[in-house]
């Protein structure tokens, strides 16, 4: 009878864990962090039109990094409106990572897509959300495409392809997409609570690389 009781408890525990959402099992802190939006910045000729960032591989003979503005939200898991604000619950943003991939499966870094990059966020601090249902928001400026990426393949191979004709007009372009490489940039923001619990949030944005016409 005792073994049957233990069996029922084990089954109940498995069933309970199966009903627990992934974010609750993977994040032991009292918060949920999410990326609410990603917009192109102004450097390097990037733009945020229609959810796309356009990265010019060379602008008037020079290369510039491309920036993005990432809006990060922090939400309390416990939405009790009676909860007070406490400095002991501050959260810090530490670093970010950008990884590029293509939908056609050609994802070799340095050949098909730029190399992944990481960068610091200077320990940006979030204040505790006020009230149980509140949230706080932080705009984070990151470099989504570095200068160096435009000086090496595959981005350096895109120079002059859209603005100059090949020697043989009947010859096909040697770069897929007729001189345009379209990627998905996956941005992950890493942070931690003041108690040391880790937090992270991930978002994606389309980034198209080409030698666009200079304005």
Q: Look at residue 112 and tell me if it is in a domain.
A: yes
Does residue 34 lie within any of the structural domains?
Answer: yes
d(CA 121, CA 33): 15
- Mean pLDDT estimate for the chain: 79
pLDDT band at 6 (very low <50, low <70, confident <90, very high): very low
Confirm whether 4 is domain-assigned: no
Residue 17 lies in a domain: no
Q: How many domains does the chain have?
A: 1
Position 3 in a domain: no
Domain that holds residue 83: 26-210
9-49 pLDDT per residue, tens: 444 444 444 565 554 455 678 888 999 999 987 544 455 54
Residue 198 in any domain: the answer is yes
Residue 8 lies in a domain: no
Kindly report the CATH number assigned to the domain that includes residue 38.
2.60.40
pLDDT tens per residue across span 172-192: 444 444 689 999 999 999 999
Residue 11 lies in a domain: no
Over the chain, what HEC string results? CHHHHHHHHHHHHHHHHHCCCHHHHHCCCCEEEEEEEEEECCHHHCCEECCEEEEECCECCECCCEEEEEEEEEEECCCCCCCCCCHHHCEEEEEEEEEEECCCCCCCECCCECCCEEEEEEEEEECCCCCCCCEEEEEEEEEEECHHHHHCCCCHHHCCCCCCCCCCCCCCCCCCCCCCEEEEEEEEEEEEECCCCEEEEEEEEEEEEECCCCC
Q: Per-residue pLDDT tens for 128-180?
A: 766 655 678 889 999 999 999 999 999 999 987 755 444 444 444 444 446 89
Closest CA to 56 of 141, 205, 161, 177: 161
């Amino acid at each position: 009878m005792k073994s049957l009781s233990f069996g029922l408890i084990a089954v109940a525990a498995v069933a309970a864990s199966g009903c627990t959402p992934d974010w609750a099992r993977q994040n032991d802190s009292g918060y949920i962090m999410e990326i609410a939006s990603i917009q192109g910045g102004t450097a390097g000729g990037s733009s945020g039109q229609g959810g796309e960032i356009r990265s010019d591989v060379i602008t008037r003979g020079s290369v510039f990094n491309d920036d993005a503005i990432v809006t990060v939200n922090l939400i309390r898991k416990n939405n009790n409106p009676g909860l007070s604000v406490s400095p002991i619950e501050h959260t810090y943003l530490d670093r970010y990572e950008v990884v590029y991939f293509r939908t056609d499966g050609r994802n070799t870094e340095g050949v098909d897509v730029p190399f992944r990059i990481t960068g610091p966020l200077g320990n940006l601090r979030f204040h505790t959300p006020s009230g149980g249902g509140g949230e706080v928001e932080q705009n984070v400026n990151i470099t989504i495409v570095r200068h160096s990426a435009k000086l090496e393949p595959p981005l350096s191979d895109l120079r002059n392809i859209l603005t100059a004709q090949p020697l043989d007009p009947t010859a096909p372009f040697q770069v897929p997409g007729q001189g345009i490489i379209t990627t998905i940039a996956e941005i992950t923001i890493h942070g931690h609570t003041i108690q040391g619990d880790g937090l992270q949030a991930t978002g994606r944005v389309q980034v198209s690389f080409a030698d666009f016409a200079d304005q």
